[in-house]
Amino acid sequence: MLNHYPAWKYLLLIIIVGLGLIYAAPNLYGENPAVQISHRVNIINQDEIDKVTTVLKNLNIDYRSIEMGDGFILVRFANEDQQLKAASDIKEVLQDKDSRYSVALNLAPATPDWLRSLNALPMYLGLDLRGGVHFLMEVDMESAISKALERASTEIRTFLREEKIRYSSVQAEKGGLEIGFATLAERDQTLLRLEEEFRDFVLTTTEDERNFYIQLNYSETSLKAEKNAALTQNISTLKNRVNELGVAEPVIQQQGDDRVVVQLPGVQDTVRAKEILGATATLEFRLVQGSLSEWAEADRSGKVPVTAKLYKQTDGSPVMLSRRIIVTGDQIVGAASGIDSQSGTPDVTITLNSKGADRMSKVTRDNIGKPMGVVFIEDKYEFRDVDGTQQRIKKTEQRVINVATIRDQLSKRFHITGLDSTREARDLALLLRAGALRAPMLIIEERTIGPSLGQENINKGMISVVAGFVAVLVFMAVYYKVFGLIANVALTFNLVLLVAVLSMLQATLTLPGIAGIVLTVGMAVDANVLIFERIREELRAGNSPQASIFSGYQKAFSTIADANITTLIVAVILFGFGTGPIQGFAVTLSIGILTSMFTAIMGTRAIVNFIYGRKNIRKLSI
């Protein structure tokens, strides 16, 4: 029978439309200004909520609600003025009681609980719509080269030992490396071997009254490659860290030879973002050397054996560790924070790559019963007034966070304890998962972009969508009559489905994305225009209304598919080769093409079949 849909197709359409309405709905509720409160040590529970509630009452602060999130307390407010005042007052009172409290501004979705229970969440808004923070970060290239030279010196020492070449020293010297030899013959023989093995360096020879030296300095090409590698790895690490922070659609791109632009939409409080983005924390695992008395004597006298290094533990007490490193942070491929079941203290579970696991397995197998230390290393920068000018001073903090006796042979996966708080454990796990920065980075420019301009953009974008939508509705209703009204219903549900899919994908809406929606609204009726014109042609040819409807949908399908597929190909190319805003436009356009084909072909056909199917009609209102 012509123009008839089975019941299951109608049921499928109803389910799809229902899901579309549910998952598009969260975008109607907007966001609440909120204050996020966390504690570096205490686990957030009802006791902490009661403390915060008491503080709010004592300060006579009006708030909408207070709730517990994942490791934090969220207090919602009616407007931004209340939010800013409350954040300042709460911070002053809480941090006066306990400096380990952290108070940050936030924007919390106002989605009802029943929608959130279905994982129905609103779309993210981009920096141009929501506001956020903008950082310009500079890579410390001197540190990058220093670390590269340090790695090269280790490789050179290993090479000289394996080749059984006698040398007196290997040390950094004026941006390069210097290898000392006792005799001229040893130096000259080694020079030829090094030239073959280390081709990234330019080798020269020098000497003094006592020793003969080989100087190794990076060639210009190698130096440029090292700097580019440092910048590339840092950008990759920043992307991983931003993903861990949960910021959607960030902009992270290179600017010049040593700078990176980072834009984080929706982030109001910059402190947490700065802590994570600029952090250079990593770990080293070393065997413990000496006894308690030897540690204390070395700390008192400053005399440390050449095979050891003196560190401070978290409580300030000294400890000596071997100079030989077992595993470093760059061999860590996974990290997760948690609570140690035996001690009840925060811990981090470490997963090593194959090289690190093999090294850890061999060392722990040969040293069962001996202690091993975990060194936490972090580079920090501070500005000091030197001769009337502000100069940037790098300070490297190194402390032993854990000393434990090796009980069993360790391998790929193990855990460490000794961290001060659950937050420190979470941050360390985040940094280790995201990877270490190849060189430290300094934030040299910071801008907070307010949401007021974004709200103006949203309003104008909404006006453009509504204006285009209404214009298309009026045209279709006037020109195609009842069939035009059917197309309008499909167009409405197309817009709902488009927003629903974007929300389910947690896509980020930007100004180009709004442009994509406006374009989709205009293009969505193309398929119906082709179908309706084909139906008119069939009617003019003398076919019956039922046969005209059937032929109109059947014969127009190939034309509709060809037109939309070519547009979809262009959208895919835009997404593949574009960046940031262009990708946002491409995503919106691609989804809009798919939803418009579904609603224009299957959606309108279902309505037409419901109205005209199985009926003996003589005239169509088209």
Per-domain residue ranges of the chain: 7-25+450-612, 31-109, 142-223, 280-447
- 409-443 pLDDT, tens digit per residue, is 887 887 777 666 776 677 667 666 666 677 778 88
CB burial of 151-186 (b: ≥16 within 10 Å; e: otherwise) equals ebbeebeeebeeeeeebeebeeeeebbbbbbeeeeb
CATH number of 142-223: 3.30.1360
Instruction: Please state, in angstroms and as integers, the Cα–Cα distance from residue 424 to each residue in 181, 275, 421, 438, 579, following that order.
Output: 46, 11, 5, 21, 34
The reported pLDDT for the residue numbered 369 is 85
Can 142-223 and 280-447 be said to share one CATH topology? Answer: yes
Structural tokens at position 2: 């012509």
Among candidate residues 146, 5, 40, the one with its CA nearest the CA of residue 610: 5
- Please check whether the domain covering 7-25+450-612 is classified as CATH 3.20.20.70: no
The reported pLDDT for the residue numbered 247 is 61
> Contact 548/535 with Cβ under 8 angstroms?
yes
> Contact 219/201 with Cβ under 8 angstroms?
yes
User: 34 pLDDT exceeds 90?
Assistant: no
DSSP 8-state symbol, 124: E
What's the mean pLDDT in 255-266?
84
Cα distance between residue 108 and residue 83, in whole Å: 12
Model confidence at 497, pLDDT cuts 50, 70, 90, reads very high
> Contact 276/257 with Cβ under 8 angstroms?
no
Q: What percent of the chain has pLDDT over 70?
A: 88
Cα distance between residue 598 and residue 594, in whole Å: 6
> Contact 470/86 with Cβ under 8 angstroms?
no
Do strands 308-313 and 389-405 pair parallel, antiparallel, or not at all (unpaired)?
Answer: parallel
**Residue 259: enclosing H or E segment and its boundaries?**
strand 259-265
Q: What percent of the chain has pLDDT over 90?
A: 4
Structural tokens at position 148: 């590269």
What's the mean pLDDT in 31-57?
79
Overall CATH class of domain 280-447: alpha beta
Cα distance between residue 600 and residue 489, in whole Å: 10
- 70-107 pLDDT, tens digit per residue, is 677 888 888 878 887 888 788 777 766 766 677 777 77
- 573-612 pLDDT, tens digit per residue, is 988 887 667 887 888 889 988 998 888 888 888 888 888 8
User: 185 pLDDT exceeds 70?
Assistant: yes
The reported pLDDT for the residue numbered 500 is 93
Cα distance between residue 588 and residue 441, in whole Å: 35
Cα distance between residue 71 and residue 77, in whole Å: 20
Whole-prediction pTM: 0.58
Structural tokens at position 175: 């941006």
Neighbouring residues of 595: CB distance < 8 A, sequence distance ≥ 6: 494, 497, 498, 501, 520
Q: Which fold is adopted by the domain 31-109?
A: Alpha-Beta Plaits (3.30.70)
What's the mean pLDDT in 9-16?
91
Residue 52, by phi and psi: left (phi above 0), alpha (psi -120 to 50) or beta? Answer: alpha
CA atoms within 13 A on the CB side of 259: 9
Biggest distance spanned by C-alpha atoms of the chain: 114
Structural tokens at position 31: 């966001």
User: Rg of the chain over CA atoms, in angstroms?
Assistant: 33
The sign of the torsion formed by the CA atoms of 461, 465, 470, 475 equals positive
User: 382 pLDDT exceeds 70?
Assistant: no
- Residue bearing the bigger pLDDT, 231 or 396: 231
- 105-160 pLDDT, tens digit per residue, is 777 788 888 888 888 888 877 777 777 788 888 888 888 888 788 878 878 888 88
**Choice among 308-317, 460-469, 486-495 with the minimum mean pLDDT:** 460-469
End-to-end CA, the chain:
22
Model confidence at 249, pLDDT cuts 50, 70, 90, reads low
User: 326 pLDDT exceeds 80?
Assistant: yes
The reported pLDDT for the residue numbered 62 is 86
